[in-house]
Amino acid sequence: MRALSCDEPGKLSIIRRDEPRAAGNEVLVRIRHVGVCGTDYHIFHGNQPYLSYPRVIGHELGAEVVAAPAGSALRTGQIVSIMPTIYCGHCRACRMGKTNCCQHLEVLGVHRDGGACDYIAVPEANVIPADGLTASQAAMVEFLAIGAHGVARGGIGPGQRVAIVGAGPIGIAAAVFSKVAGAHVSVVDMNPRRLAFCADELGADAVFEASADIRDRLGQATDGDFFDCVVDATGSPGAMQKGFDLVGHGGAYVLLSLVRADIAFNDPEFHKRETTLYASRNAVRQDFETVLQAMRDGKVPLRALASHEGSLDDAPGLIPEWSRPEAGVIKAILTV
């Protein structure tokens, strides 16, 4: 079968390997579509710290069931989405239902070879029926689930004033599900094109281009109250630290971004506001189910999100181009 390998930073190739065989608790699926994620671009550019090369990339997967274990509710030919976080099921986190932060977690396409290939075998627990969706739409569930998980972590609900800082795909996902939750959503980013997308396609209530005086502008826009919840999706340590100042008294701060840095905050301000700080890592099955239902209900602008398309065979040439900010990619989808 074919597989898309990042052989080393800056080098992608289509390789040939044997088709996998499913173990007793695994489902064999045929990959139909793969979403290209920021993680994939980081791997290509050599900026992913938790990976060794070569690596078959791809963890946003829309697939079709080929074979399932005896007694499984899954059926041959069924369209499914794949949850790419492989968890042990036994550690403290897993016993608490927090499979997204399993102590032995492995992510497809990062810690082990991913799904940008013709076939893959994965644990049955990671295969989620996507009935009513196309395989291309099923490939978008994972990145949307990351945003949905952050919204759930922050307890975002009707009437709350929410700021999403960073309008990349994950920030966009957080904005989508903040709107689904009934919040008043403001989006902050440096890219005017992304801000226009959030206003026009996502229905963001307000957008703000980042600048040195952004805190003052947001304070004026909220009559000095700032936000019930701030969600950071910038991937910038500096922006993450500044985000503490945007949280209103009694509010919450959700860090969707993951950076290799220490993040500091002013303790008197943190206590004065009784800020609640949340990390948000990956997603759990419930988040996938939340996304799937919202997609079926027409609450996610799927056509607008899928901005670029190409084939697996052409991916070695397409991904370097898509990784450029000037390409204007929201979500690129590979057809396998």
Matching residue, tokens 């901005």: 307
Domains 2-131+301-335 and 146-279 equal at CATH topology level: no
Asked if 72 contacts 27 with a C-beta cutoff of 8 angstroms, the reply is yes
Which residue ranges make up each domain of the chain?
Answer: 2-131+301-335, 146-279
The CATH number, out of the four listed (3.90.180.10, 2.60.40.420, 3.30.930.10, 3.30.300.30), of the domain defined by the range 2-131+301-335: 3.90.180.10
CA gap 246, 73 in Å, rounded = 47
pLDDT score at 260: 87
Dihedral sign for Cα 305, 64, 43, 166, please: positive
Asked if 2 contacts 15 with a C-beta cutoff of 8 angstroms, the reply is yes
Coil, strand or helix: which one is 3?
A: strand
pLDDT score at 149: 98
Alpha helix positions (H), 202-284: 214-221, 237-242, 267-272
pLDDT score at 49: 76
Residue 209, strand partner residues: 189
Could you tell me the mean pLDDT of each successive run of 10 residues in the chain, 336 residues long?
Answer: 97 97 96 96 89 96 97 97 97 97 97 97 98 97 98 98 97 98 98 97 97 97 98 96 98 94 96 98 97 98 96 98 94 98
Asked if 122 contacts 82 with a C-beta cutoff of 8 angstroms, the reply is yes
H or E stretch at 74: none
CA gap 169, 233 in Å, rounded = 9
Residue 27, strand partner residues: 122
Token pair of 233, please? 């999706």
Cis upstream peptide for 320 (omega within 30°): no
Alpha helix positions (H), the chain: 38-45, 92-95, 135-138, 141-153, 169-180, 192-201, 214-221, 237-242, 267-272, 285-296, 302-305, 315-322
**Which architecture does CATH list for 146-279?**
3-Layer(aba) Sandwich (3.40)
pLDDT score at 154: 98
Token pair of 35, please? 């979403």
Burial letters 107-135, b for 16+ CB under 10 A, else e: bbbbbebbbbbbbbbbbeebbbbbeebeb
CA gap 234, 120 in Å, rounded = 32
